[in-house]
């Protein structure tokens, strides 16, 4: 019986450590705004979500970014800078876009000066660069509300983690 | 006791009483005991019901989590989940061993809870990724529960989870186990379009994934054997060989291209199944039918090469590892067949040699497709299929096993029926042809049944 209790405690420790890691990643992280285009499928485990595709996902024409045919799952670093202004939800937002790419990790972490832009980590996949913020989970009560959002009417506020990974904070629409 | 056995016993007991072998009082006592015994519901049934209850609760928790209670603070959501998780473990530890039903329900709930937790964490922290990682972490988190309790239902659920994870991991793009060639690097795994791509490069790209897949299957087989017994090994074996077939038929580096490669792979795996089932020592009565169906299925499919059309190309673009893959599987299946001990399936001497040759025919005919025209392969497949039927009938008579005689008659009849449709199918446009066909089929059914009954009677006579 002691062994079974130990298993339960080990599972508890796993979930607590995971939650702690996620909390630590975004604690006092800088926030940036990104432009999206949503669609809405469902995940068996975590429920309803909007699948998001970002303007910073398609980087074939950006300096230093990998071209089609590059080996999949290659980690890449993308330099984002605030570039254009969008009006969404009756407010003006500065949207960040990609300026350049690098296949090696830049020595700028943790980020201190946002005016120089930020480097974020992504993975080169067959659908462009993915950042781990391509889904936004929401309550099924809001399906209709989310379904009304059209392309160009939704922005994402993301935190830049200490390791350059983006973490979604909220959607703006 | 099965219903048929129960009825048989009742009839026999009455007959014994009538014949004076036992008294009427004794007969009543035996029948009363029999009824009482069967009126008691099976503990296995209760356990399964309890397990189903646990499963329902766990699935319900997943759905409640999936609803996404946005208004509740995330710490509350996580806290409640952790409380339920810890509570489930504690309840299981506290439940006495004799409370089997309660333990079964709580155990299934506990096995599935970590999966729900991973989903909840993903939702709360907006994390997503491939579908393999959550399954793998769930399997790791719940594995100690299976090891410590050695519960069959829990082990079954967990082993099924391992097999599902191996499939999902290999099928999906971008997982640790992916063996799939995705749309962008579709050309990368194909020898024909990119001849400069070296084998070591492909091995380095897919080697770890392959190792992972092998480890996952080894884990599944280990658990199936240790906790579920030999009976479940047959299912695991069929699933494993099906997985190997899938690798060769899908967009993976092992893709075998056209029909020839696919049939060689299918034939080799079918042959391997016969050998492996004998090596593992599976219960022959249980796995006989699966093996016969597999061999019969492959041979039967090959008979259609008589009317082969170029719409189904014999040769196609193959994955870069297709040739070594086919070679290894073909050689391995031949070795397994040679090593296998068929005692119990066939008698030693010519029946054993005949069986080995028949079992090897899917592999041999798969190889023949590379050297001979399709019509020749179809002819040989027809012959082999008919011989398989005849071998089964003979083995059934010699060993007094009616199931084998039935299977042999069904296979032979099926072949005759199919070839009849092949050659006379176009004549069915006229009403007279319909009537003639119906009469012929009725006669065929009658004569096959008569022949079957004759063989069964002969087999029973031989026993006496």
Residues of chain B numbered 195-254 and touching chain A (CB < 8 Å): 205
Say which residue, B230 or B354, is predicted with more confidence.
Answer: B354
Q: Stretch B80-84: mean pLDDT, rounded?
A: 92
Give the model's confidence band at B36: pLDDT under 50 very low, under 70 low, under 90 confident, else very high: low
Give the model's confidence band at B184: pLDDT under 50 very low, under 70 low, under 90 confident, else very high: very low
pLDDT score for B194: 42
Look at residue A123 and tell me whether its pLDDT is greater than 60: yes
pLDDT score for B214: 94
pLDDT score for B314: 76
pLDDT score for B146: 93
What is the DSSP-derived secondary structure letter of residue B228?
Answer: I
Contact list, B139 vs chain A (CB under 8 Å): none
Look at residue A158 and tell me whether its pLDDT is greater than 70: yes
- How does the average pLDDT of chain B come out, rounded? 80
pLDDT score for B187: 39
pLDDT score for B115: 92
Most confident of B188-192, B343-347, B444-448: B444-448
Q: What is the pLDDT of residues A35-88, one digit of tens each?
A: 776 555 566 666 788 888 888 888 776 777 776 666 667 888 999 998 888 888
Give the model's confidence band at B82: pLDDT under 50 very low, under 70 low, under 90 confident, else very high: very high
Q: Specify the range with the lowest mean pLDDT, choosing from A97-101, B371-375, B396-400.
A: B396-400
Q: Name every residue whose Cβ is closer than 8 Å to that of residue B101 and which is 6 or more positions away in sequence.
A: B46, B47, B49, B50
Q: Compute the count of residue pairs across chains A and B with CB atoms less than 8 Å apart.
A: 129
Give the model's confidence band at B353: pLDDT under 50 very low, under 70 low, under 90 confident, else very high: confident
**Euclidean distance between CA atoms A111 and A77, whole angstroms:** 14
Q: Name every residue whose Cβ is closer than 8 Å to that of residue A111 and which is 6 or more positions away in sequence.
A: A30, A118, A119, A160
**Euclidean distance between CA atoms A95 and A79, whole angstroms:** 13
Q: Which two tokens stand for residue B28?
A: 């009543």
Look at residue A135 and tell me whether its pLDDT is greater than 80: yes
Look at residue B111 and tell me whether its pLDDT is greater than 90: yes
> Widest CA span of chain B, in angstroms?
89
Is the Cβ pair B121, A3 closer than 8 Å? no
Phi and psi at A104, nearest 5°, equal -115, 155
Contact list, B147 vs chain A (CB under 8 Å): none
Burial of B246 (0-12, 13-18, 19+ CB in 10 A): middle
Q: Stretch B35-44: mean pLDDT, rounded?
A: 57
Is the Cβ pair A48, B68 closer than 8 Å? yes
Task: Select from A22, A73, A139 the Cβ nearest to the Cβ of B70.
Answer: A139
Is the Cβ pair B117, A15 closer than 8 Å? yes
pLDDT score for A12: 93
Q: Which long-range contacts (CB under 8 A, 24 or more apart) does B282-291 make?
A: B282/B230, B282/B233, B282/B234, B282/B237, B283/B230, B283/B231, B283/B234, B284/B344, B284/B345, B285/B403, B286/B231, B286/B234, B287/B234, B288/B345, B288/B403, B288/B404, B289/B403, B289/B407, B290/B234, B290/B238, B291/B359
Most confident of A123-127, B110-114, B399-403, B417-421: B110-114
Look at residue B463 and tell me whether its pLDDT is greater than 60: no
0.90 surpassed by pTM: no
* Closest residue on chain B to A143 (Cα): B67
Give the model's confidence band at B83: pLDDT under 50 very low, under 70 low, under 90 confident, else very high: very high
pLDDT score for A29: 81
Task: Select from B62, B126, B184 the Cβ nearest to the Cβ of A126.
Answer: B184
pLDDT score for A37: 66
Q: Domains of chain A: which residue ranges?
A: 29-172
* Closest residue on chain B to A21 (Cα): B125
pLDDT score for B233: 82
Look at residue B89 and tell me whether its pLDDT is greater than 80: yes
Residues of chain B numbered 158-187 and touching chain A (CB < 8 Å): 173-174, 182-185
Q: Specify the range with the lowest mean pLDDT, choosing from A1-5, B14-18, B117-121, B277-281.
A: B277-281
Looking at the complex, does the CB of residue B144 fall below 8 Å from at least one CB of chain A?
A: yes
Q: What is the pLDDT of residues B139-162, one digit of tens each?
A: 999 999 999 998 888 899 999 999
């Amino acid at each position: 019986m002691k062994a079974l209790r130990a298993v339960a405690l080990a599972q508890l420790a796993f979930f607590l450590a995971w939650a702690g890691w996620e909390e630590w990643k975004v604690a006092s992280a800088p926030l940036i705004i990104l432009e999206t285009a949503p669609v809405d499928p469902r995940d068996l485990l975590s429920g309803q979500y909007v699948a998001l595709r970002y303007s910073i996902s398609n980087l074939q024409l950006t300096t230093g970014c990998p071209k089609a045919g590059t080996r999949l799952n290659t980690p890449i670093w993308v330099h984002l800078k605030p570039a254009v202004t969008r009006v969404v939800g009756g407010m003006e937002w500065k949207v960040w876009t990609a300026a350049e790419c690098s296949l090696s990790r830049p020595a700028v972490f943790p980020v201190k000066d946002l005016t120089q832009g930020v480097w974020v980590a992504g993975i080169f996949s067959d659908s462009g660069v993915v950042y781990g913020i391509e889904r936004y989970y929401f309550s099924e009560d809001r399906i209709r509300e989310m379904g009304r959002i059209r392309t160009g009417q939704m922005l994402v506020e993301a935190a830049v983690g200490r390791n350059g990974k983006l973490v979604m904070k909220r959607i703006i629409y | 006791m099965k219903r048929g056995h129960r009825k048989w016993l009742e009839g026999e007991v009455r007959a014994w009483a009538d014949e004076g072998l036992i008294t009427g009082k004794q007969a009543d006592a035996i029948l009363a005991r029999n009824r009482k015994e069967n009126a008691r519901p099976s503990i296995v049934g209760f356990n399964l019901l309890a397990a189903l209850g646990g499963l329902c609760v766990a699935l319900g928790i997943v759905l409640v989590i999936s609803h996404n209670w946005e208004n509740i603070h995330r710490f509350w959501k996580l806290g409640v989940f952790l409380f339920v998780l810890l509570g489930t473990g504690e309840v299981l530890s506290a439940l006495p061993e004799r409370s089997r039903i309660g333990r079964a329900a709580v155990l299934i709930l506990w096995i599935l809870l970590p999966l729900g937790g991973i989903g909840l964490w993903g939702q709360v922290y907006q994390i997503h990724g491939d579908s393999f990682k959550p399954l793998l972490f769930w399997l790791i988190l719940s594995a100690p529960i299976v090891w410590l309790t050695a519960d069959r239902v829990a082990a079954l659920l967990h082993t099924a989870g391992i097999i599902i994870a191996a499939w999902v991991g290999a099928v999906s793009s971008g997982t640790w186990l992916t063996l799939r060639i995705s749309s962008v690097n579709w050309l990368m795994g194909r020898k024909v379009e990119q001849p400069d791509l070296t084998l070591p490069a492909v091995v380095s790209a897919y080697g770890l994934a392959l190792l992972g897949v092998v480890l996952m299957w080894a884990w599944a087989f280990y658990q199936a054997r240790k906790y579920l017994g030999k009976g479940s090994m047959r299912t695991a074996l069929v699933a494993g060989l099906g997985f190997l077939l899938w690798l060769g038929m899908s967009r993976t580096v092992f893709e075998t291209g056209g029909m020839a490669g696919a049939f060689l792979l299918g034939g080799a795996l079918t042959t391997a199944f016969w050998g492996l089932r004998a090596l593992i020592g599976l219960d022959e009565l249980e796995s006989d039918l699966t093996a016969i169906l597999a061999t019969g299925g492959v041979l039967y499919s090959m008979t259609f090469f008589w009317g082969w059309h170029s719409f189904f190309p014999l040769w196609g673009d193959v994955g870069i590892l297709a040739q070594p893959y086919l070679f290894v599987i073909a050689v391995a299946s031949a070795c397994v067949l040679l090593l296998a001990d068929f005692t119990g399936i066939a008698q030693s001497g010519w029946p054993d040699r005949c069986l080995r040759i028949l079992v090897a025919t899917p592999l041999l005919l798969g190889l023949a497709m590379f050297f001979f025209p399709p019509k020749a392969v179809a002819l040989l497949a027809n012959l082999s299929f008919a011989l398989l039927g005849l071998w089964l009938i003979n083995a059934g008579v010699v060993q007094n096993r009616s199931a084998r005689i039935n299977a042999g008659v069904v296979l032979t009849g099926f072949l005759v029926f199919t070839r009849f449709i092949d050659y006379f199918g176009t004549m069915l446009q006229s009403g007279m042809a319909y009537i003639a066909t119906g009469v012929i089929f009725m006669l065929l059914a009658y004569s096959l049944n008569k022949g079957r009954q004759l063989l069964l009677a002969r087999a029973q006579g031989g026993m006496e």
